[in-house]
Chain A
Amino acid sequence: MRPFGRHLHNQIIVPLVVASVVVAIVAMAIAVALVGRIIQSWIDQSVEAVIANTHSRLEEASTDLLRSIKMAAEDSRLVEAAQSRDVQTLSGILVLLNQSIEADNLMLLDEDGAVIAATGRLQLMPGVLPLGGTDRDWVVLSMSHPILIRMGQSYTLTALEPVKGPDGRTYTLALSAIVDDEFVRRISEGSGAIVGVYDNAGHSVAVRTTNTPEGSVAAAALRRPDPAVTEAFAGIDEGTTVPLATADGTFRLKADRISFKDDPTGSMAYLVAALPTTVAEQTRRTTTNLIFMWSALAVLILLGLNWWVARRVSEPLVQLSDSVGRVAEGDFTAKVSFHGTNEITRLADNFNTMTDSLRERSESLTKKVLELATLYEMSRALGSTLDLETLLDSVLDSAMRIFNVELGYVTLRDRESGQLAVRSLRGSLAARPDEAAVRASMSEWVVREGRPLIFNPPRAGEEPNGRVDSVSGALAALCVPLVSNDGTIGAITVGSRDAQHRFTSDDVRLLATIANHVTIAIGNIELFSTLQDAYLATVRALAAAVDAKDPYTRGHSDRVARYAVSIGESMALAPEQRTALEMAAYLHDIGKIGISEEILLKPGKLSDEEMGQMRHHPLIGANILKPIAFPWPIAPVVRHHHEHFDGRGYPAGLKGEEIPLLARVLTVADAYEAMVSDRPYRRGRSEEDAILELRRCSGTHFDPRVVDAFIHVIAESAETASLTVTPHTDAPGPEEASAVFVAVCDGMFSSFRRLGGPRLAANLEQDINATFAEQGLPYALTAGHLVHDGDADVSDIEQLEQMRRAMAAIAEFIERTSGASLVSHFYVEAVEALPERMRRQADHLGLLH
């Protein structure tokens, strides 16, 4: 787990979140401050509007007043009454006029400013001076505008108009509107503000309130008046608005002067408007809350959006990173897939293309490495054997492994006949293809043309061509010629029964490489064989030289060589050991060249000294052969061919296993030949005597194993000889049949052991013995040999039946462990290993169906 901040996801989100929170906070702060200012200025403007509105209403009231007084002053009844100066009439006229004007007060003043008559709420007595004394010379003027003036207890807005009196006197008609709460209400109607009017001394005259509790509180404050009002008066010139805080809320106050143009009295009053900030405060709070809420919401949405975007970016990267990690660990199947079409998807596509190409390259590299490894292994195998069949088998196995196919064979042209023959075949059902199949096979064409040939089965949807290789039965096959300096010597073919298999030109190249190696290896083997033949000829010439020196033993070396080789075969010696044995046998008496002819040719018994000299011949022979660089260790064999198994021989007195094996074999062959051949001084003994002598000296003079092998060989050759003379048409006797059966079974077992190993062979032995016991068959397997332990009094037919059942049981077991094809293969191998006569008898018996 990496730390929080190291994830790309978080590295994207955190700065964005921080940024959006900061932006939100700044925006909120600005918005809130702005809203506060807007609302304050809104209230201030509203207050101003109230003031302006009130002013204009006051103006309207003044105009109305002026109009009314002009109308009244021109009333004919009043003018007439004024002329008569009858107080009663004037008073009545005023009552009448005021009915229509509906003013608060209407009065007529004489030249001194004293009341002549009056009607209205001021209740003025005649004779009083409501406007002051006689010094008010402006009283009689016609005024274009009403004035604000205190009359008695009331503060009035009064309009004056001159009326002509009797004797040229001028009276003054005064029409007043009393500035009371009702008046203020009228001039500030509909504003929602608390409005107060103050006289020039700043005393409250009238206040208009609103019908709200806070309105009453503010009205009370205005009436007092509150210091805030005084403050507002002070701020008139600056046009400031001052706050008024009461227990029930806050207000904004603004004051203004009321003064009229051309007012001769210079009367002045003050107007104060107060607006509650409650609604504004609420608006501000609500707006602020809304801004907060929206900011929080916006931050949340941004957070979600950021998260989503970051996921969109980081998740593919995490996937890609994981996949790259897997690729780094060698898993080329790693894929990433995203939806959509953007840079990340393109990256994913490119990544997938890259891994695909990496995988292909890796696979092809792996294939190449495998090919190289196999080729290397093959070239080692090529160098390590001089046996053609082994070589071809191993090459075919390797080739089949490289191409991953199950069929393969090599054909070689026979030098003498010029015919192609299958020399090695792997994986084919048919044990041995016949000549016709070989002639029809693709290798025939390849060898003729000297060019490679591929055939692949038709793909799905293609016309089936029905081509099958006649030798292997392959549906897909590849055949390349084996071309040496002398021309095409054969062909190597690999194939598959899988209809999906395809060979490519790469495969041709590879098989051609293998073919080159094989050709070289075959050339080597041939060269070696030629060399060996040359050696053999040389050795034979040397042997002939010895024979020439001792005419009595003429042909001795040849015969010894023949016996030795047959013993070697019987003991299953390796081919090169057999060759070494043959060479040693030809040359074993070459040391006699160094023995004087008197001793050598002396008839009769030799003296001790002569015998001593005679005993030098193995050493002399070994010394003669030592300088010759034979490919095989021949000199030691020659040196020790007179050693005895019990250590009493010469020249070294070696004992048992100390004596080279080939020398031990040679000793037996030499002794036997000496015994059975005629000498000038004696006749040869019979074979039986010789065998008896061999048996007698087995373990002392001779190696018992070698003796046994040799006796076996002699017995076989005797049979062969007898079979040769007797016609092979007759059926084998019971003993012979049994021997053939045992030999075939032994052969099959040994093949099985070679293939399956000793453990599997032991298991097989156990299982088969159990089955034999179960079926009452008179056979038992011990150490890979079949032993017949039944009584002899069964008829031939019964015996044959027993053998067939036993064979069937064996075949079944082998089939179960190794497959059906191997059973026949083993059988054929076992039969082929038999001598000619026994092979025919085996065919005759028909043991395996």
Chain B
Amino acid sequence: MRKPGEPVRVSGSGTCLPLLRILTAGYSDTTADFVYLPGLHSGGGIKGVANGDLEIGAVSRQLTAEEAKLGLRYTLLSRDGLVIATHPSVPIEGLTSQQVRDIYQGKYANWRELGGPDLPITILDRNEDESAKIILREYVLGKDLKITPKAVNLYYEPDMIEGLQSTVGAIGYFSLGYGISQEIPVNMLKLDGVAPSVAAIEDGTYKVIRPLGVVTAEDAGEQIDEFLAWATSAKAVELIKSRGFAPAK
């Protein structure tokens, strides 16, 4: 257990950590010292808090039934949109969910077939247990869609973003909040004609969203309770909205 005065250890979902960084940076209480450990994915964050190795575990998906039994406190901070994007060399406006499914099924080899430039389609994908992939399957791909072997699985979201930026003709998906807040130079696509934005998430028109939250121990202590109270306050909501993250309803 953490003793008062010791730093607040934070880790977990790579998708959620940028949001937490925005929040801790905006937090005015300077007595709390937040330390970010390397990303562990959502499950790792939950396990870390359960083991007492972390104070705050970042989670970018809903807790599983087993995880809910651990008796941890879950706080929803934001709803992040999952945006599908291409390398800027593919200046198409948007794709339908079907087109996305077809691309990941390997039905298209060249963007020319989709009305884009004559460039081979480089398919960037995530592992199945990644929250982003889970959400994408839930809202776009569908549960049983077989992904083409031409796609490459990238382990971390930053790898995905890096690959999207540096590979001509690439397509992939990542956090909208991160994309907006870091101004990633990629071509964000409309999905089924809906452009990904905080407003679209808030009004419910953009459906592909994942819940960004934290788990903490039930008796995490006053300092963490205060931080969570602030993180869910109106002021914090304004802050995360301005950075591309949609508030938690």
Residues of A within 8 A of B (CB): 86-89, 91-96, 98-99, 105, 117-121, 123-126
Q: Are B168 and A93 in contact (CB under 8 A)?
A: no
Contact of A126 with B163 in the complex, beta carbons under 8 Å: no
The 6 closest A-B pairs by CB, nearest first: A92-B152, A91-B122, A87-B120, A119-B167, A88-B150, A95-B163
Q: Roughly how many angstroms separate A92 CA and B154 CA in the complex, as a whole number? A: 10
Interface string of B116-128 (1 = CB under 8 A from A): 0001111110000
Q: Assuming the A-B contacts A123-B89, A125-B89, are A89 and B162 also in contact, with contact meaning beta carbons closer than 8 angstroms in the complex?
A: no
Establish whether residues A124 and B168, one from each chain, have CB atoms under 8 Å apart when the complex forms. Answer: yes
Q: Which residue of B lies closest to A97 (CB)?
A: B152
In the assembled complex, B201 has its CB within 8 A of some CB on chain A? no
Interface check B211, CB cutoff 8 A: no
Q: Which of B119, B149, B150, B159 contacts A126 (CB 8 A)?
A: B119
CB–CB B170/A95 < 8 A: yes
Contact between A92 and B166, CB atoms less than 8 A apart: no
Q: CB distance A126 to B124 under 8 Å?
A: no
* B184 CB–A CB distance under 8 Å: no
**Is the interface on chain B under 10, 10 to 19, 20 to 34, or 35 or more residues?**
20 to 34
Is B168 touching A92 in the complex (CB atoms < 8 A)?
no
Asked whether A88 and B89 contact (CB < 8 A) given A95-B167, A118-B167, A123-B166, the answer is no
CB <8 Å contact, B163 and A99 = yes
- A88-B109, A95-B122, A126-B120 in contact; A119/B150 too (CB < 8 A)? no
Tell me, in angstroms, the Cα distance from A118 to B121 when the chains sit together: 12
**Do the beta carbons of B168 and A118 come within 8 Å of each other?**
yes
Beyond A88-B120, A92-B123, 17 additional contacts (C-beta under 8 Å) are A88-B109, A88-B122, A88-B123, A91-B122, A92-B150, A95-B167, A96-B154, A99-B155, A99-B162, A99-B163, A123-B166, A123-B168, A125-B119, A125-B168, A126-B119, A126-B120, A126-B169
Q: Smallest distance from the beta carbon of B89 to chain A beta carbons, Å? A: 7
Q: Does residue B151 face the partner (Cβ distance < 8 Å to A)?
A: yes
Taken together as a complex, chains A and B put the C-alpha atoms of A92 and B170 apart, in Å, by 8
Known: A95-B167, A119-B166, A120-B166. A86 touches B122 (CB 8 A): no
In the assembly, what is the distance between CA of A89 and CA of B169, in Å?
A: 12
Note all chain A residues with C-beta closer than 8 A to B120. 87-88, 91, 117, 126
Contacts of B154 in A (CB 8 A): 95-96, 99
CB closest residue in chain A, given B172: A95
Assuming the A-B contacts A95-B163, A119-B163, are A126 and B122 also in contact, with contact meaning beta carbons closer than 8 angstroms in the complex? Answer: no
| Residues from chain A with Cβ under 8 Å of B89 in the complex | 123, 125
Chain A residues whose C-beta falls within 8 Å of the C-beta of B166 in the assembled complex: 95, 98, 105, 119-121, 123
**A91 contacts which of B149, B159, B162, B167 (Cβ < 8 Å)?**
B167
Chain A proximity mask over B61-89: 1 for CB below 8 Å, otherwise 0: 00000000000000000000000000001
Chain A's nearest CB lies how many Å from the CB of B37?
Answer: 21
- Among residues of A, the one whose C-beta sits closest to the C-beta of B154 is A99
How many angstroms from the CA of A125 to the CA of B170 in the assembled complex? Answer: 12
Is there contact, CB below 8 Å, between A91 and B170? yes
In whole Å, how far is A489's beta carbon from the nearest beta carbon of chain B? 136
Closest to A118 in B: B168
CB distance from A425 to the nearest CB of B (A): 127
- A93 B152 Cβ-Cβ under 8 A: yes
Report the separation of the CA atoms of residues A92 and B109 in the bound assembly, to the nearest whole angstrom: 12
Contact indicator A92/B159 (Cβ below 8 Å)? no
Q: Which residue of B lies closest to A105 (CB)?
A: B166
The CB with the most chain B CB atoms within 10 A, among A93, A95, A120, is that of: A95
B162 touches A92 (CB 8 A): no
Contacting A at CB under 8 A, from B155-210, are: 155, 159, 162-163, 166-170
Least CB distance, A109 to chain B, in whole angstroms: 14
Nearest-neighbour CB distance to chain A for B3, whole angstroms, equals 38
C-alpha spacing A137/B101, complex, angstroms: 43
Q: Which residues of A contact B121 (CB under 8 A)?
A: 88
State A96–B150 Cα separation when bound (angstroms). Answer: 12
Cβ of A86 and Cβ of B150 under 8 Å apart? yes
A–B Cβ pairs within 8 angstroms, 20 of them: A86-B150, A88-B123, A89-B150, A91-B122, A92-B151, A92-B152, A95-B122, A95-B124, A95-B154, A95-B167, A96-B154, A99-B155, A117-B120, A117-B122, A119-B163, A119-B167, A123-B89, A124-B168, A125-B89, A125-B168
- Give B150's nearest chain A residue, CB to CB: A88
* Chain B residues, Cβ within 8 Å of A93: 152
- Determine how close the nearest CB of chain A comes to the CB of B213; give it in whole angstroms: 28
The distance from the CB of A797 to the nearest CB of chain B, in whole angstroms, is 141
**Chain B, residue nearest A99 (CB):** B159
**Inter-chain contacts of A96 with B (CB < 8 A):** 152, 154
Shortest Cβ distance from residue B114 to the other chain A in the assembled complex, whole angstroms: 14
CB pair B167–A94 under 8 Å, yes or no, is: yes
Query: Taking the nearest CB of chain A, how far is it from the CB of B148, in angstroms?
Result: 8
**Complex: chain B residue closest to A91, CB-CB:** B122
Q: Is the CB of A92 within 8 A of B124?
A: yes
- With the chains together, A815 CA to B89 CA distance in Å? 156
| Residues in B neighbouring A98, C-beta threshold 8 A | 166
Q: How long is the Cα–Cα vector from A87 to B106 in the complex, in angstroms?
A: 13
**Within the complex, what minimum Cβ distance (angstroms) separates A72 from chain B?**
14
**Smallest Cβ distance from A404 to chain B, in angstroms?**
111
Q: Give the residues in chain A near B163, CB-CB below 8 Å.
A: 95, 99, 119
| Alpha-carbon separation in the docked complex, A167 to B155 (Å) | 33
Contacts of A125 in B (CB 8 A): 89, 119, 168
Segment 213-234 of B: residues with Cβ below 8 Å from A: none
Please measure, in the bound complex, the distance between the C-alpha atom of A661 and the C-alpha atom of B70, giving whole angstroms.
178
A99 to B165, CA, bound (A): 13
Q: In the complex, how many angstroms separate the beta carbon of A107 from the nearest chain B beta carbon?
A: 10
Interfacial chain B residues near A123, Cβ < 8 Å: 89, 166, 168
- A91 & B169 in contact (Cβ 8 Å cutoff): yes
Q: In the assembly, what is the distance between CA of A92 and CA of B124, in Å?
A: 7
In the complex, what's the smallest C-beta–C-beta distance from A752 to chain B, in angstroms? 128
Q: Which chain B positions have C-beta within 8 A of A124?
A: 168
Q: Could you tell me the distance in whole angstroms from the C-beta of B156 to the nearest C-beta in chain A?
A: 9
- In the assembled complex, how far is the CB of residue B107 from the closest CB belonging to chain A, in whole angstroms? 12
Closest Cβ of chain B to A93, distance in Å, is: 7
CA distance A196 to B65 in the complex (A): 60
Query: Chain A nearest CB: distance from B122 CB in Å?
Result: 4
Complex: how many Å from CA A14 to CA B122?
95
A447 vs B167: C-alpha distance when bound (angstroms): 158
Distance A92 CA – B153 CA, assembled complex (angstroms): 9
Of the candidates A91, A94, A99, the one having the most CB atoms from chain B within 10 angstroms of its own CB is: A91
Q: Inside 8 A of A117's CB, which chain B residues have their CB?
A: 120, 122
- The complex places the Cα of A89 from the Cα of B109 at a distance, in Å, of 10
Point out the residues of chain A lying under 8 angstroms from B109, CB to CB: 87-88
In the complex, residue of chain B having the shortest beta-carbon distance to the beta carbon of A128: B168
Q: With A and B bound together, what is the CA distance between A125 and B117 in angstroms? A: 11
Residues from chain A with Cβ under 8 Å of B155 in the complex = 99
The residues of A that contact B169 with a CB separation of less than 8 Å are: 91, 126
Complex Cα spacing A121 to B167, Å: 8
- For B106, give the chain A residue with the smallest CB separation: A88
Residue of A nearest to B159 (CB): A99
Q: Tell me, rounded to whole Å, the shortest Cβ–Cβ distance linking B185 to chain A.
A: 10
Nearest-neighbour CB distance to chain B for A104, whole angstroms, equals 9
Contact assessment for A126 and B168 in the assembled complex, using a CB-CB cutoff below 8 Å: yes
Q: In the complex, what distance in Å separates the CA atom of A680 from the CA atom of B169?
A: 211
